[in-house]
Structure 1
């Protein structure tokens, strides 16, 4: 099919380990040939699971910034990163309040999900294998990572696609959840090379890294363990459009994404100080 994204070259696959290659090929096959499987899984099983972990704890603001987009629009959701489950909070909201839940991809570090025997199983169970494409954290894997970025751009060329990205590139383990890490420029590159795409910032807070704890908190005193999801207006990158091959522009676009997320963190604090009630 001519509208499917280009496949990696042999030299790009050669830098992967055998397990990474096998995991990638499985995810790639499902994305190309069986996309309905992930759509069905995420709209049913994952919706139930995220409800069980979050439904009584969610506080959502700025929903109109998400609801304004139609089924043919293409978005990059950029969010801060504190927990393994940040984007599961976000997807719980997207599935309920947006038509843009079918073609969702989450570029992810290759650690565990692609280099551990159980990684593909967990990826399949938690996202229908949509934690894809992987970014491999080895210098020798640069050629493959170039492909991964190009693949993100190619996926965003198709109507109705959402890409969920943590610009920080890794979890922020510092004591202050409002002090964000510096953005990696990859998100800026994707945003500028994917034509016609809107970049929507999201601030998330409240999830742990323990899935069992998430379920317990949702049923035992959920008011003590709120999950915050704050959407903002699209990041303005108009003056950078047309500079998709300029690393300086990538860096500036990434910085603007982080500034927008940081501003939403400040807004979240203000809303809490004003008595932001559960379920809003």
Structure 2
């Protein structure tokens, strides 16, 4: 399979190592690749259930011609070898709760301006929902989307939790797990462009984005999602 045009040598080296493993341990049920923009930068957002989500998310994008720049927690960049590979392939560190927290937004804006795909898990960490529905997300993705006006493509995935549990350490590799990934059309945020980036605007955009992801996930699961998302601050429904 040809590598995405925007993948650099380090990115392709990682793919040559990781992709064959993913092909062996998963059975891929992918849909909606036609919604991935082919010209210009865009933001890909997905739900987050387990540590293996970034791999299944990136696998879907990479095999559909997109080499995403994933916003990943900064501690991963301090891991020997892994950190070097992440930096060399252009991934973006997120410095949580520090004076450097804004650096990831600046780096993401630059990547989008350069025509890249920036991949984000808006929840920021694994969902706290007992049934693995998306929880109340942070507003960083909304700020990025409204500042850059880049298209936001909602992507729902289901099945990674069977490969590795939410807080699991040992993956379940046999038998191969069915991984369903569905991309939807870009979320319409045009009515919010030009409005002050206050709490109301950012929450409206965030909920609209995550609402699209949740509806796609509900279609995959064939279930009705909760009326309100899990709020991690209250450890209950928002």
| TM-score bracket for the superposition, by shorter chain length | 0.7 to 0.9
* The one of 123, 129, 133 aligned to 1:174: 129
Moved over 3 A (4+): 123-131, 209-212, 243-247
Q: Which residue of 2 aligns with 1:213?
A: 171
Aligned equivalent of 2:234: none
CA contact (8 A) 1:154 1:194 kept: no
The DSSP-based 3-state class of the residue aligned with 2:100 is helix
> What SS does the corresponding residue of 1:167 show, helix, strand or coil?
coil
Alignment of 1:1-150 (within 5 A): 36-54=8-26, 57-66=27-36, 69-70=37-38, 72-98=39-65, 100-101=66-67, 104-110=68-74, 112-114=75-77, 116=78, 119-124=79-84, 129-136=89-96, 138=97, 141=98, 143-150=99-106
Calculate the TM-score normalised by the size of structure 2. Answer: 0.78
- Does the aligned pair in 1 maintain the 2:158–2:220 contact within 8 Å? no
- Say which of 192, 198, 213 aligns to 2:151: 198
Any conservation in 2 of the 1:133–1:152 contact (CA below 8 Å)?
Answer: no
Single out whichever of 125-134 and 229-238 deviates more from structure 2: 125-134
Q: Per the alignment, do residues 164 and 58 of structure 1 end up closer, same or farther by CA in structure 2, a change over 3 Å counting?
A: same
Q: 1:165 aligns with which of 100, 120, 124?
A: 120
How far the C-alpha of 1:144 sits from its partner, in A, is 1.1
Between structure 1 and structure 2, the one with the greater Rg is 1
Distance 1:170 1:95, change over 3 A: same
The correspondence for 1:243, drawn from 183, 192, 195, is 195
Deviations 1:204-238 (A, max 9, x none): 12221568635x23xx2x3xx32111111111101
* Residue ranges of structure 2 left out of the alignment (5+ in a row): 1-6, 224-238
Q: Which moved more, 1:87-96 or 1:36-45?
A: 36-45
Report the Cα distance in structure 2 between the residues aligned to 1:128 and 1:93, rounded to whole angstroms: 21
Displacement, 1:258?
0.8
CA root-mean-square deviation? 2.5
TM-score for the superposition, normalised by structure 1: 0.67
Q: Give the Å deviation of 1:244.
A: 6.5
Measured against aligned partners, the alpha-carbon deviations of 1:81-116 in whole angstroms (never above 9, x if no partner) come to: 001111211222222222x22xx2111223x314x5
Tell me whether 1:183 sits opposite 2:137 in the alignment.
Answer: yes
2:182 alignment partner, one of 192, 213, 230: 230
Answer 1 or 2: which has greater helix percent: 1
